[in-house]
Amino acid sequence: MTADLRPRRSVLYMPGANERALEKAKGLPADALILDLEDAVAPDAKGDARARVCAAVQSGEYGAKELTIRINGIGTEWHDADLAAAAAAGPHGVVVPKVNSAEEVVTLAAALAEAGAPPHTALWAMLETPVAMLHAEEIAQASPRLTVLVMGTNDLAKELHAQHVPGRAPLQFGLQACLMAARLAGKVILDGVYNDIKDGDGFRTECTQGRAFGFDGKTLIHPSQVDPCNEVFAPSETEVASAREIIAAFDEATAEGRGVVTVNGRMIENLHVDDARRILAQSEAIAALG
Domain boundaries, the chain: 10-233, 237-288
Taking alpha carbons only, the member of 108, 152, 106, 147 closest to residue 131 is: 152
Is there a contact between 90 and 119 (Cβ–Cβ < 8 Å)? no
Is there a contact between 82 and 50 (Cβ–Cβ < 8 Å)? yes
206-210 mean pLDDT: 98
For the cut 80, the answer to whether the pLDDT of residue 227 exceeds it is: yes
Measure the CA–CA gap between 167 and 93, rounded to whole angstroms.
30
Q: Give residue 256's pLDDT band: very low, low, confident or very high (50, 70, 90).
A: confident
Q: String of b and e for 217-256 (b: at least 16 CB within 10 Å)?
A: bbbbbebebbebbbebbbbeeebbebbeebbebbeeeeee
Q: Give residue 246's pLDDT band: very low, low, confident or very high (50, 70, 90).
A: very high
Matching CATH number, 10-233, of 1.10.580.10, 3.40.50.300, 3.40.50.10490, 3.20.20.60: 3.20.20.60
Percent of the chain past pLDDT 90, that is, above it, reads 89
Output 77 or 261, whichever has higher pLDDT: 77
- 163-170 long-range CB contacts below 8 Å, 24 or more apart? 164/195, 166/202, 166/205, 167/209, 168/206, 168/209
pTM here?
0.94
> Tens digit of pLDDT for each residue in 113-162?
999 999 999 999 999 999 999 999 999 999 999 999 999 999 999 999 99
